[in-house]
Copies of this chain bind each other. A is one copy, B any other.
């Protein structure tokens, strides 16, 4: 797939895809100077998009993705690389705590917004009777 097709399919500007290439987040092979996105590239991009929605920074995504890949690779060897796995696991746990804190915040904001909405509605109803 060419960059334009990928851009359309994922609804991501081509410039952004080139940017991802530049920073080494997603670097497809070239054919005659032109980027060709493989099936694997598309899968990776899907993973990136998903994590982005989940508010990971591009940096975090990069770390997690490469650690994940490294683990997959080492799984096929006789002696898996435990340190990479350990590092990734603590990364994951940290993110999990972060996400849990966020979930708490979200509960709170929902209460706050509901409270605020109720107050606003009071004003609107008072306005109705006044007319």
Q: Inside 8 A of A124's CB, which chain B residues have their CB?
A: 82, 85-86, 89
How many copies of the polypeptide does the oligomer hold? 2
CA A126 to CA B77, docked complex, whole Å: 11
A68 touches which one: B80, B109, B116 (CB < 8 A)? B116
List which A108-131 residues lie within 8 A (CB) of chain B: 108-110, 112-114, 116-117, 119-121, 123-124, 126-127, 130
Interface size on A, residues (CB 8 A): 44
Does A75 lie at the interface of the complex (its beta carbon under 8 Å from any beta carbon of B)? yes
A82 touches B113 (CB 8 A): no
For the complex of A and B, 5 pairs with smallest distance between CB atoms: A54-B109, A85-B123, A82-B127, A89-B120, A92-B117
- Count chain B CB atoms within 10 A of each CB in A116, A119, A120 and give the residue with the most: A120
Q: What are 5 of the A-B contact pairs (CB < 8 Å)?
A: A50-B108, A80-B127, A92-B120, A93-B117, A96-B114
Does A22 lie at the interface of the complex (its beta carbon under 8 Å from any beta carbon of B)? no
CA A86 to CA B116, docked complex, whole Å: 12
CA A109 to CA B123, docked complex, whole Å: 39
A113 touches which one: B85, B99, B105 (CB < 8 A)? B99
Does A44 lie at the interface of the complex (its beta carbon under 8 Å from any beta carbon of B)? no
